[in-house]
Structure 1
């Protein structure tokens, strides 16, 4: 009876170990190229976002966090310019310099944001470029997905750069106007300074897409459930028992 138990124990151990090895090999193959296992794929995400870029209203809405402080800063600068007659000669010179800078900063961001809203279509361009690549092999598929991820990351970096630069320049310009202006112009400039932080809070769609894709990619790795064996010596003999191993890897 004891001999039969040992035979069955060894047989079960062999089956479990074999299962563990095979499963580990499958998991390793799956995780070797996470770009091919994420859902949706980077190329699919580009196609979805390219459809969104066909909507002009969506594109303009992406730039509202920049339009608002830029417009308010421009209005405050115009108000400041109309108050110059109430200042001394030196104050007038300072107000003129501040007004010129505010005009320039506001006009630049209104103009550049309008240009981006009308012409900048990173996901559509990337989709067109990647769709021209031929090949149905795993290597060709991997190349397309990696290039798609590169385009997603490039767009996100561009969005972050715009957010920080626009926020910083508009904030500095608004505070400068507020320091020189009076009454209503000062109030508008203060509101403009506060709203200048909007690009950092309400981020561009390009940044959000990268976050979504990175989050989905992380989910490939966890949780990972594998089988194993647990052995314990009791009175000189090793007793084996099956077990499940759950691990999170990021």
Structure 2
């Protein structure tokens, strides 16, 4: 076993879990439940590998059409779709899901379970000479991207759960899968196109991705704080 590479593969997801756990400082979720969602993400990753392997063998597209297929269908729809199928029913019925921030927290833990297996495969099966470079790049770009997609999904699932308007609930339900798939697809598509300007475009997109999703996270953290202070006043 390549212990050093295994550590390199799991360290970023552990760091991200610790980061989001500490963010949830007003009403922390039980570690047991967070672990449950993480493990679900692990199993989803295995299923995704199988499905993606089958889809990759479909050789009906060429050029940019193939880039779109690989980015939005093979990667975006398969990965985010599987997360959504498992996350939504398990999260909505969870009794501990009692504030909007929780949707993001559980979504991130599930996504990090998924990303951990993906990272291990990418790094441990890479050429030893390139494995360290791949590990660093994925730690800086790919793992945080999974977190950003998870924030989006959890954000809209929370809006769905706590909304009382039927039309709005339907809208949030659609957005909770549509937006993460699009964000993921765009992320992969920019990486696939081989133009010099695509590097600049990718950097701009990463900044945009972080900005919109960290704003969502901060918004729900503020709501969690307000809820916590109101509870304290009642006591």
TM-score when scaled to structure 1? 0.29
Q: Which has the higher strand share?
A: 1
TM-score when scaled to structure 2? 0.31
